[in-house]
Structure 1
Amino acid sequence: MKLFYSPGACSLSPHIVALEAGIDLELSRVDLKTHTLENGDDFSRINPKGYVPTLQLEGGELLTEGVAIVQFLAEQKPNANLAPPLGTLDHYRLLEWLNFLSSEVHKLFVPLFWNGSEEEKNKAREKILRRMDYIDQRLQRDYLLGDSLSVADAYLYTIIRWLQAKHFDMSRWPKLQAFQERMEARPAVQQALRNENGGDA
């Protein structure tokens, strides 16, 4: 399988999940400003949506949207225990977190990364603060679903890196800081960062 990614973008989440699950992925870097691959090919011809992550399956089919891709990857290696079994309450808790992170947190960063007006940026920052306050309060154990890693944690970790990139004061969220440290101690996270940063974690 091939993962189309851009360093630091939300494609970091499935990259981490694949490494945690022991799934070998070919990586193809995308320049999101020019929508081109490293060889100059037009990425929009692969994914007309124009953004990452995009996962190309062995048969050539494409899977898009990060929350779908991470669940697909988790189900390829159920023994990795990155997603609770279908039909359990914990499975729906996972969907709850993935949907919250995608719809209520992720999209708030758009004006911060893509030249929003000052008013748009200020409104986004205020909402991000409230959303992260909520997550920090809910993070009662090591990970979002308890004591073991799930695919939602890879997504949350990616978002925490955006907070740092946009100079949020992380001391406001002590539980999230501890979560970040736990994630960065994981070999799969370290490897993903090295892969995406040319060998530097």
Structure 2
Amino acid sequence: MKLYYSRGACSLAAHIALYEAGLAFRAEPVDLKAKTLAGGADFRQVNPLGYVPVLELDGGERLTEVGVVLQYIADQKPETSLAPPAGTMPRYRLMQWLAFISSELHKTFSPLFAPHTPEDYKPVIRERLAQRLAYMNQQLAASSFLMGEQFTVADAYLFVVLNWAGVMNLDLTPYAHLQSFQKRVGARPGVQRALQAEGLLGS
């Protein structure tokens, strides 16, 4: 398999999941601004939409959309319990978390990264994020991870999105449970390997 990724982007969640699952893969960095690969090739030939992650399977098929990529990776090694079995209620809960992180956190962060977002709109975004972060903080008050005491791919995704708070100078101090979650997840060997591979340790 090959993972097309960009440093610190949501593709980091897939990078983490691949290490956590112990799967063999190659990592191909993408310049998202230029839409190019390391050798200068046009990344839009891989994904016409120009974003990551893209997981290229050994047969040449490609998967996009982080929630789908994460579930595919987890399903390759069910013994790791990175996702509950398909068709079970816990699996639907996992899908619920992946959808929430994507639509309510990831996409809410996105305008803060966009260079043309009006400055007077950014406080509105930050207030919306604060509401969502308070909700997530409450959800993690009684458990180590989103699904209880078992780490899953949803935790990898949440970890990555929460990392963006530092980039955007968004203070996580009011959210003690989220801070504890970040430390707990960040200490995992698979997470450390992914962070090191993307040059993010110490940043």
Please state which band the TM-score falls in when normalised by the shorter chain: over 0.9
Task: Report the more deviating stretch, 120-129 or 46-55.
Answer: 120-129
1:142 corresponds, among 141, 144, 151, to 144
Structure 2 distance, partners of 1:16, 1:198, is 12
Partner amino acid for 1:134?
Y
Task: Report the more deviating stretch, 89-98 or 114-123.
Answer: 114-123
1:98 alignment counterpart: 98
Per the TM alignment, residue 67 of structure 1 is displaced from its structure 2 partner at its CA by: 0.2
Q: Deviations over 1:75-110 (max 9, x none)?
A: 000001100112222111101100001111111112
Structure 1 distance, partners of 2:168, 2:195, is 18
Confirm or deny: 8 A CA contact 1:111 1:120 kept in the other structure.
no
Partner amino acid for 1:190?
Q
Which blocks of at least 5 consecutive residues in structure 1 are unaligned?
none
Structure 1 residues 199, 125: CA separation in 2 closer, same or farther (over 3 Å shift)? closer
Moved over 2 A (4+): 198-201
Normalised TM-score (structure 2): 0.96
Structure 1 residues 137, 92: CA separation in 2 closer, same or farther (over 3 Å shift)? same
Q: Deviations over 1:144-199 (max 9, x none)?
A: 00001001000000011001111111111000000001011101111001100188
State the identity %: 47
2:157 alignment counterpart: 155
Confirm or deny: 8 A CA contact 1:17 1:70 kept in the other structure.
yes
Confirm or deny: 8 A CA contact 2:70 2:153 kept in the other structure.
yes
1:191 corresponds, among 181, 187, 193, to 193
1:27 alignment counterpart: 27
2:127 alignment counterpart: 126
Which blocks of at least 5 consecutive residues in structure 2 are unaligned?
none
Normalised TM-score (structure 1): 0.97
Per the TM alignment, residue 18 of structure 1 is displaced from its structure 2 partner at its CA by: 0.6
Superposed CA RMSD in Å reads 1.3
2:42 alignment counterpart: 42
Per the TM alignment, residue 113 of structure 1 is displaced from its structure 2 partner at its CA by: 0.7
Confirm or deny: 8 A CA contact 1:21 1:80 kept in the other structure.
yes
Per the TM alignment, residue 25 of structure 1 is displaced from its structure 2 partner at its CA by: 1.4
1:63 alignment counterpart: 63
Structure 1 distance, partners of 2:151, 2:200, is 26
Structure 1 residues 118, 198: CA separation in 2 closer, same or farther (over 3 Å shift)? closer
Partner amino acid for 2:59?
G
Number of aligned residue pairs: give it.
201
Structure 2 distance, partners of 1:2, 1:199, is 22
Partner amino acid for 2:182?
Q
Structure 2 distance, partners of 1:196, 1:83, is 24
Partner amino acid for 2:158?
L
